[in-house]
Chain A
Amino acid sequence: GEDVEQSLFLSVREGDSSVINCTYTDSSSTYLYWYKQEPGAGLQLLTYIFSNMDMKQDQRLTVLLNKKDKHLSLRIADTQTGDSAIYFCAESLRNTGFQKLVFGTGTRLLVSP
């Protein structure tokens, strides 16, 4: 079955790197996404990676995928107070035509000055 797990909370200081981790259970080919949710706002797509890739970098964001361990991480370099939000890992599955997204619990990132 599909299950996506994340740690609930991460606290870092401004300027440090943040690493948010996610594990998933379904081994079928999949896209994996990171969404950001600020207070009172919707889900903003940050980046995504396909399961045949190991890494993707987009400015301050680096996504690492360990397919063997079904582990995904999001690294935010030079974290800013504006990065404080909830970060959701999500997967979409080939066997659903990549239609529905299965979300993790979300990791609340708190960046202190």
Chain B
Amino acid sequence: EPEVTQTPSHQVTQMGQEVILRCVPISNHLYFYWYRQILGQKVEFLVSFYNNEISEKSEIFDDQFSVERPDGSNFTLKIRSTKLEDSAMYFCASRRLAGGRSSTDTQYFGPGTRLTVL
């Protein structure tokens, strides 16, 4: 069964460094998402991406964050200058269709990347 994959599983970085989290969505999916979960807190939406552009983003997704689909398979989240409070589990998700009649299409999540900022 196709699945969303994420690398690395754990990333440790120094405050102020740039990190890139990588995701490979399910191959025929068109919508891509990033969520994060700070330890002990809710899973929070960061951004959705469709047709090579951001379709929605949350207040968390400030100028320090960016997303990219550099090729036909990868979807990346970049944090330019990490802060201590960026430490969290970051989940990538993908969805086959864009909504409307196909709104029952659900988001499939990857296993997550645990980011630790020291």
Contacts and interface: CB of A to CB of B under 8 A. Distances in A.
B43 A88 contact: yes
Contacts of A96: 56
Interface residues of A, number: 26
B48 interface: yes
Interface in A29-86: 31, 33, 35, 40-45, 48, 50
Contacts, number: 59
B48 A99 contact: yes
Nearest to B114: A40
A100 B33 contact: yes
Contact of A98 (B33, B103, B108, B111): B103
B91 A42 contact: yes
Interface residues of B, number: 27
Contacts of A102: 45
B95 to A, nearest CB: 8
Given A98-B99, A100-B48, A105-B42, A35 B56 contact: no
Contact of A103 (B44, B104, B111): B44
B56 A101 contact: no
Given A42-B91, A100-B48, A35 B103 contact: no
Contacts of A41: 111
B33 A42 contact: no
Contacts of A40: 111
Contacts of B91: 42-43
Contacts of B35: 101, 103
Contacts of B110: 42
Contacts of A43: 43, 91, 93, 109
Interface of A: 4, 31, 33, 35, 40-45, 48, 50, 88, 90, 92, 96-106
12 contacts: A41-B111, A42-B109, A42-B112, A44-B109, A45-B106, A48-B104, A48-B106, A97-B55, A98-B103, A99-B99, A105-B42, A106-B43
Closest 4 CB pairs of A and B: A43-B109, A103-B43, A100-B45, A42-B111
